[in-house]
Structure 1
Amino acid sequence: MTRKASREPMATVTEKLERVHMDLWGPVEPSLQGMKYMLTITNQATGRVWVYFSRDKMRIVEKIKAWVVVAEAECRQYGKSEKGMAISFDRGKEFLNEAMKVFCSGRAIRIEPTLGYHPEGNGISERSMRTISERGATMRHEMDLPAAYWEFSNAVAAYLRNRGVVKGMAKSPWELWRGEKPRARHLRVFGCPAWVLIPKEKRTKLDKKAWQGVFVGYKDETDKVYLVWNPADKKVHEVRFVKFDESKYMDNTVRQESPSQYDDEKEDTREQEELTDDETDAGDSAKDNITEQEAIDIKEVGGEGTDGNPTDQDAADSEEELQGDTIIVNTGEADISPIGAEERLSPSSDTNSSQPETRSQIRREAVALKREAKQQAELERRQREEQQIAERLKKRGENGRKERAMIARTLLQPNADIYDFEPKKLTFRQAMEGSEKDKWVGAIDEEVQNLIRRQTFSEEITEDTVQGKELVDAKLVFDHKKDKDGRILRYKARLVARGFTQKHGVNYEETFAPTIRLDAMRIILALAAKQGWKVYQMDAVAAFLAADLKEEIFMKVPTELQQHFGKYVQILKSLYGLKQAARMWYLLVSEYLKEIGFSPMAVDPTIFRHTESGVIIGVHVDDFMITGGSEVAIEKVKEKLKGRFEMKDLGEAENILGIRIQRYKGKLTIDQSQFAKETVAQFLYDDSMKHSTPMEPEAIRKLAEEPGRPLNHDEWLQYVELLGKLIWLCNTRFDIIFAVNRMASFTVEACWNHWKALLRILGYVGRTTHYGITYGGNNEHAEGVEGGNIDYYSVDHNIEGHVGSADLQNGDAFSDTDYATDPRDRKSILGFVFLVYGGAVMTYSKKMKSVARSTTEAEYVGMGEATTAALWGRRLLAELEGKGEQAVPLLLGDNKGAVQLTRGVSNTSKIKHIDVAFHHVVDEVKEGRIQVYWVPGESMLADGMTKPLPREAFERNRKRIGIGPC
């Protein structure tokens, strides 16, 4: 057997992204942009190659994550929405590291490192790497470019390889990937001189009209934009209006020989074509060129030699120019002056002037004349086009901004299920082909049994029955149920209807179903900590299937489940995904809780309190949070719920909506440490990026004045993804809420420096992943802050009078405003904090809807907003405690003028321009429903919600609102 051992060939793949191969090349001499490494990613099924460049190995995982986003987006656009399934690479630490494992695990991508002594395992990537590096070196050497251009030449080599023939494939990688043939008219000689038009807006009449650079590549998404390196500012520019001088390439490849009779005849033929054609064949790229008159220092094409006549070489150049896609510019060093038409057609004055001109010489002169006329016409046309293009770009920019705003609203909408969000859900095929197949099969069997036991569907119905009916599709969705530390508890498969195929008025009517506000959940937890109550958790199994469906809805069963239910069925229960499913479940639960003695809260209908025992239940879809002062009463309620619904008793609450709950020494803490760690591992690649504050003090001004280059679409999607995760993290990390909200304001037009600022926030989170909120009297986070109390004062004609001290235990509110913060619109930022039992339960940081005319006005408007929030919170506390009347909350501000305005002023003309909606604070104060007092600026706990603070002030403020290690 030892003699028969051999190496088996690699398995073939047919689907995009079914398997990709990666390899790293380097380190090498730094490129012009400082890059030392090249990452190649080769798609096995199509042969397409992507190259990414990096300064160090630490950023390789970042490049891979960016590529996955791009590749899957392109598959949605040009393919069958394929997802990444397997990645093959060697065992280098730049690939096999914790960040990579976390990322691939979250997206269900298999990692397939090569084995020892098995180079074929990564042979595809090795071959791609060699091809690209060798072709890139050849292009550099041909143009006599230094080695520092290797980044550009390798990128162009990959670009050309994707559009060319690859051994073993009938089509080019580009066509296999995109489904369209690649175009070649736009291709240019790498490294040739390029003259780039300077827009009129950036030059005066005396300035140069073009700058000279080096052509270094293409934009992969379009053939209308080129990349040009500018040696002056040492940057790569994406340009559209550019001229190329590929003559250097021709001089190096065409032998300089005396023209033969055959050459003369060939020239005669070409020149005759030029005289009969009305226009130069410039193809689609004609609009991408600038005229010679628009370039400064560009010499006249077809100029004279020392004898005053065009030389043979000039003629050859002219022929090449007229046949190409663009008008080529002669950038020779000779100082050639243009001559008039008469002078050009007259006999030369040299020693050979007496000799008759050849036919070819006369035609060369005629070609030059016609070229001049074309150039003048081209100049006039170009000026008209510039105006038209400027108008189109302006309109396109407005449309693009609206599109980004729409996408951002969709991706960033509040979603309490984001804690369980995986960037990519498994398809049925991926689940069945993955290493966890057996677990997913078990999950499918469990879901099928739930559907059968709940009598979710009718018996199979015939195709004739559903003829003409509105059919709803469905699919299996796979997910994990995780514990407080992110460990997988069980595998879930759920049949979900595609509700977007429903039609209003046909198969659904009302859809609204309330879910518990996280503000309310934190207030319940803070109250439980204060009273010493235990908090329990229950989970309704297949909750939606407990509710009957009123509408007649027919469904086409997914192929993989037709063996159990048939092809067509009628839905009898509120199946997940149906637009009305959540509402039907809420109504069912609400009615039953009322039957057993519970009443919903007036301020939040998802919170119920038993009128006799005082047991409190908070409902979020199928999650139940239960607390109260009587353990016996709680057990009775739990038994009743189990008798009515299929419930899982999870004991004392440890993880609700992805928020970890811990109890110790009379205190209760909540945090999202696991989610924070996963987010940091996904986006943060360097420990040196960790910071002690989320935002530097001058960041708002700097980001507005120096935003950097705009993010491309793929970078922007990554920005939105990270922003969404940070927004969710704000539920227990009020210390980052100001910074995150400010970065959210840049979402539509996010630029590079905005991305860096967002990473700084993540860097701060990476340094404090174990932080959360602690609720507990005299907790350690309040130590050293005057016993945790805040002195407050009355103000009368700027005379302060001490009134008392806020202990931050029973619903104290702080309102602050930073005047004219945003230099883009000079609108002020409003901040609010509401504390119960030593920790913040409600906060916000938001921009005013209008521009305030003074600090006092801004603070007064802020107090109007804060009054509404404070009264809501205090009313909820009173209902939870079973008190008929709520205690009067304190609202504390640090602006004396605004505090006096809340008490009413004799001359209302000073504030009559303020929206009536904000004046209700005066009425609330007069009626005694809220008390407004003044506190010194150093005692303002909402200060961190309105501005980025220096480190010392930031850390002091963070402790005061109860945020610290958990």
Structure 2
Amino acid sequence: MDFFGPVNVQSIAGKKYTLVIVDEYSRYTWVFFLRSKSDAPEEIILFVRKMERLNNLTVRSIRSDHGTELKNSTLETFFDQKGISQNFSSVRTPQQNGVAERRNRTLIEAARSMLSEANLATQFWAEAVNTACYTQNRSLIVERFRRTPYELFRNRKPSIEHLHIFGCVCYILNNKDNLGKFDSKSADGIFLGYSSISKTYRVFNKRRQTIEETIHVKFDESGPTFPHPHDNSEINQWADSFFQVPDIPTTDPSPQDLPDGFEEDPPTPPTQISLPPIINATPRPRKRTIIGSKWIFRNKLDEIGTIIRNKARLVAQGYRQEEGIDYDETFAPVARLEAIRLFLAFAAHMNFKVFQMDIKNAFLNGKLNEEVYVAQPPRFVDPKFPDHVYKLNKALYGLKQAPRAWYDTLSTFLLSKGFVRGKIDSTLFLKKYPKHILLVQIYVDDIIFGSTNPKLCEKFELLMKSEYKMSMMGELTFFLGLQIKQYEKGIFINQGKYVHEMLKKFDLTSCTPMKTPMAPPLSLDKDSKGKPVDVTLYRGMIGSLLYLTASRPDIMYSTCLRARYQAEPKESHLTAVKRIFRYLKGTPNLGLWYSKDSGFDLTAYSDSDFAGCKIDRKSTTSGCHLLGGKLVSWTSKKQNSVSTSTAEAEYDYDIQLSKIPIYCDNTSAIAIANNPVLHSKTKHIEVRYHFIRDHVMNGDIELHFVPTEYQLADLFTKPLDVTRFNMLISELGMLNPDE
């Protein structure tokens, strides 16, 4: 036998302690709820006498710890009279009382899950423990016996026809009050368990606010009802408090040293329940849209897919908002992947570490400029004010203006602290010092930052902690699906974990690897006579591959080419897509390497095929940008219009920075850009394409001819043989850490 308590929340009956008694042979369990420890001796004596008289059983031995409630003169005298031996575990050695200790934990964890699932207040903990004990006695626990504790103890199989879901809605027949002809004959209730003294149910009468025992109950198990809004973290705090044993020795016993019935449990990730303190209950206003609310549950994962936090978040159903009434501005800038890669390339060049922090419940910090009302969340309706709604003081997840409100709040704070917003990238904030610089990149509620002076990073961390609740996540290892490893000589970016997940998702883990994602010559067309395939499967595979191109430029062209056939995919298209997966099977960990010793000069390559698409004869234009050999941007795109010459195909290029050396393998395109002349063969080129000429004349860029064999952008316009393909990805800074 063992005790747990005191519980920080009294039960409905005012109890704070629980006495747990377990039969060692059958594991049949009894629980008794007490107001204080001093009530234990009387309860134990009564229990022993009941076993003798009602069950004709003799208690021979009792094992417990050295708690004064179990080791006292009253019990010693009684046990001596009955001839019961009392065994005690060693001091601070709960393993020696493993059967009872383990049952304690099992009951508490079951009760915690039941309260959480039913969303009941913690004051119902005793009812949950009692019901957990009742059902576990009727469940298979000791597998070697192939019988339940109930059957082992009572020599008959238990009936389970009367079992119902804990916390479900029930309706109690009112046969006590003198009712009028038109008065309701039932009262709303909550099912809490089973009586220990009669064949009745224990239910909570919501109108009377009392627990009753009755057989006249009808159950609605489609969904539970909830008497009080509450925070599940209170349940976790209640349950976790019983598992903290003070002064635990620093050496842990190995599993083989543990006694029967006592086993180690792996640590469970913390659960975060977000009940925002940003709302005020108010009567429902007239002529105002009331926005619904709901709970969203999700797991936060690290770079290897381990759950690091369980989150339950209250969100608004923003699709009911009306523009101009409930919101005005919704746009919020989001960092592009090119900006993230540029940030990492600069960090590698300047040889400083990049760190990551996470703002907890970031959107709840956003300030609202409009009056917004949301309904009480389902299953958390206040019974005293069921018609009240919540007026939001700050933003709530799900509101259309929430991202904008959070960005405005954070950017205003950073600007007030001396940061300067990027002129091109509005999610980049910089703070310059005489000899150092601090950079901060924002992606909604995730922030990465770094500095040439490590002390500035520490100061920035303290600055953010002074204003927001946040968690420091250390050196950047995982961001927007990218796995990032920071070394002394540079930074490596890949998506190896995601590749393995893709292969497993589409059942291609056993496929034969290929050395290239596609083989020349290009033969893919619409294939009108081909056999159709599952559109959902095809689009899912393409979507997964497009996500992978964030760190895999080697599959950019092959993926974009296959993506053109998503409307009506055929078997030939699916086979071509699977070839990309077979290539990934052989190169799962291939990624981008940013070396610190490669400089930081911007270089661009431009290339294009001529009428490469067999369907509409449009050309594919490609380009890539390198900062000192660090590939930060690449593109492969079918042109919007049909090219009538290779010169126009090469000419479709965008300018991003000044003084860019652009390498092109088409002399006609270079001549048109450098010479402001028009003739009949070039008049078809639209005015917008001469955007590049203006930059050439201003000296912003320099065009250079590069032989085709050294054209790095060739990777993004056509299929290549193995030798040239491997040469190009190597020149672009891609490598395999396993090689």
Normalising TM by the smaller chain, what interval? 0.5 to 0.7
Q: Deviations over 1:762-820 (max 9, x none)?
A: 22122211111100057xxxxxxxxxxxxxxxxxxxxxxxxxxxx77421100000111
Corresponding position of 1:845: 636
CA contact (8 A) 1:690 1:764 kept: yes
* TM alignment of 1:741-760, pairs within 5 A: 741-760=560-579
**Shift of residue 910, structure 1, vs aligned partner:** 3.1
Pair 1:496–1:429, CA change in 2 (3 A): farther
Query: Percent of counterpart pairs with the same letter?
Result: 32
Distance of 2:599 and 2:462 partners within structure 1: 37
Aligned: 1:950 with 2:721: yes
CA contact (8 A) 1:537 1:652 kept: yes
* TM alignment of 1:410-809, pairs within 5 A: 448=273, 450-452=274-276, 455-459=277-281, 461-462=282-283, 465-466=284-285, 468-562=287-381, 568-612=389-433, 613-685=436-508, 687-699=510-522, 701-705=523-527, 708-711=530-533, 715-776=534-595, 809=600
Corresponding position of 2:218: none
CA contact (8 A) 2:333 2:426 kept: yes
Higher strand fraction: Structure 1 or Structure 2? Answer: 2
* TM alignment of 1:902-941, pairs within 5 A: 902-941=673-712
Pair 1:538–1:445, CA change in 2 (3 A): closer
CA contact (8 A) 2:527 2:572 kept: no
Pair 1:636–1:601, CA change in 2 (3 A): same
Q: 1:825 aligns with which of 598, 613, 616?
A: 616
**Shift of residue 704, structure 1, vs aligned partner:** 3.0
Letter aligned with residue 817 of structure 1: S
Q: Deviations over 1:45-89 (max 9, x none)?
A: xxxxxxxxxxxxxxxxxxxxxxxxxxxxxxxxxxxxxxxxxxxxx
Distance of 1:635 and 1:444 partners within structure 2: 27
CA contact (8 A) 1:684 1:759 kept: no
Corresponding position of 1:896: 667
CA contact (8 A) 1:667 1:776 kept: yes
3-state secondary structure, aligned to 1:561: coil
Distance of 2:607 and 2:591 partners within structure 1: 23
Distance of 2:570 and 2:380 partners within structure 1: 47
3-state secondary structure, aligned to 1:704: coil
CA contact (8 A) 1:777 1:837 kept: no
CA contact (8 A) 1:857 1:898 kept: yes
CA contact (8 A) 1:774 1:838 kept: no
3-state secondary structure, aligned to 1:942: helix
Distance of 1:490 and 1:826 partners within structure 2: 51
Pair 1:759–1:650, CA change in 2 (3 A): same
Pair 1:440–1:560, CA change in 2 (3 A): farther
Letter aligned with residue 814 of structure 1: Y
3-state secondary structure, aligned to 2:368: strand
**Shift of residue 689, structure 1, vs aligned partner:** 4.0
The TM-score, its normalising length taken from structure 2, stands at 0.61
CA contact (8 A) 2:508 2:581 kept: no
* TM alignment of 1:80-479, pairs within 5 A: 448=273, 450-452=274-276, 455-459=277-281, 461-462=282-283, 465-466=284-285, 468-479=287-298
Corresponding position of 2:47: none
Letter aligned with residue 855 of structure 1: T
Aligned: 1:855 with 2:679: no
Pair 1:439–1:456, CA change in 2 (3 A): closer
**Shift of residue 440, structure 1, vs aligned partner:** 13
CA contact (8 A) 2:367 2:409 kept: no
Distance of 1:598 and 1:949 partners within structure 2: 47
Q: Deviations over 1:485-523 (max 9, x none)?
A: 121111112122121111111211110000111101101
Q: Deviations over 1:905-964 (max 9, x none)?
A: 544443222111111211211211111101111111110111121222111111111112
CA contact (8 A) 2:332 2:403 kept: yes
Letter aligned with residue 484 of structure 1: E
**Shift of residue 731, structure 1, vs aligned partner:** 0.4
Higher helix fraction: Structure 1 or Structure 2? Answer: 1
Q: Deviations over 1:623-650 (max 9, x none)?
A: 1110121112222122111111111111
Pair 1:957–1:429, CA change in 2 (3 A): farther
Pair 1:747–1:842, CA change in 2 (3 A): same
Pair 1:934–1:439, CA change in 2 (3 A): farther
CA contact (8 A) 1:619 1:625 kept: yes
CA contact (8 A) 1:534 1:628 kept: yes
CA contact (8 A) 1:444 1:493 kept: no
Pair 1:695–1:808, CA change in 2 (3 A): farther
Structure 2 unaligned segments of length 5 or more: list them: 1-25, 27-142, 147-221, 227-231, 237-267
CA contact (8 A) 2:270 2:309 kept: no
CA contact (8 A) 1:819 1:858 kept: yes
Distance of 1:848 and 1:635 partners within structure 2: 48
**Shift of residue 447, structure 1, vs aligned partner:** 5.2
**Shift of residue 617, structure 1, vs aligned partner:** 0.4
3-state secondary structure, aligned to 1:688: coil
Superposition RMSD in Å? 3.0
CA contact (8 A) 1:671 1:772 kept: yes
* TM alignment of 1:22-41, pairs within 5 A: none
Pair 1:685–1:650, CA change in 2 (3 A): same
Corresponding position of 1:346: none
**Shift of residue 439, structure 1, vs aligned partner:** 10
Aligned: 1:962 with 2:736: no
**Shift of residue 568, structure 1, vs aligned partner:** 2.6
Distance of 1:504 and 1:732 partners within structure 2: 38
Corresponding position of 1:293: none
CA contact (8 A) 2:294 2:378 kept: no
Structure 1 unaligned segments of length 5 or more: list them: 6-114, 119-427, 433-437, 779-806, 875-887
**Shift of residue 561, structure 1, vs aligned partner:** 3.1
Pair 1:665–1:633, CA change in 2 (3 A): closer
Pair 1:762–1:938, CA change in 2 (3 A): same
CA contact (8 A) 1:614 1:629 kept: yes
3-state secondary structure, aligned to 1:495: strand
**Shift of residue 560, structure 1, vs aligned partner:** 3.0
Q: Deviations over 1:502-553 (max 9, x none)?
A: 1111211110000111101101101110110111111101000011222222
Pair 1:610–1:735, CA change in 2 (3 A): same
3-state secondary structure, aligned to 1:573: coil
The TM-score, its normalising length taken from structure 1, stands at 0.47
Distance of 2:681 and 2:411 partners within structure 1: 49
CA contact (8 A) 1:472 1:499 kept: yes
3-state secondary structure, aligned to 2:615: coil
3-state secondary structure, aligned to 1:560: coil
Aligned residues: 481
Pair 1:529–1:444, CA change in 2 (3 A): closer
3-state secondary structure, aligned to 1:910: coil
Corresponding position of 2:95: none
**Shift of residue 703, structure 1, vs aligned partner:** 3.4
Pair 1:517–1:686, CA change in 2 (3 A): closer
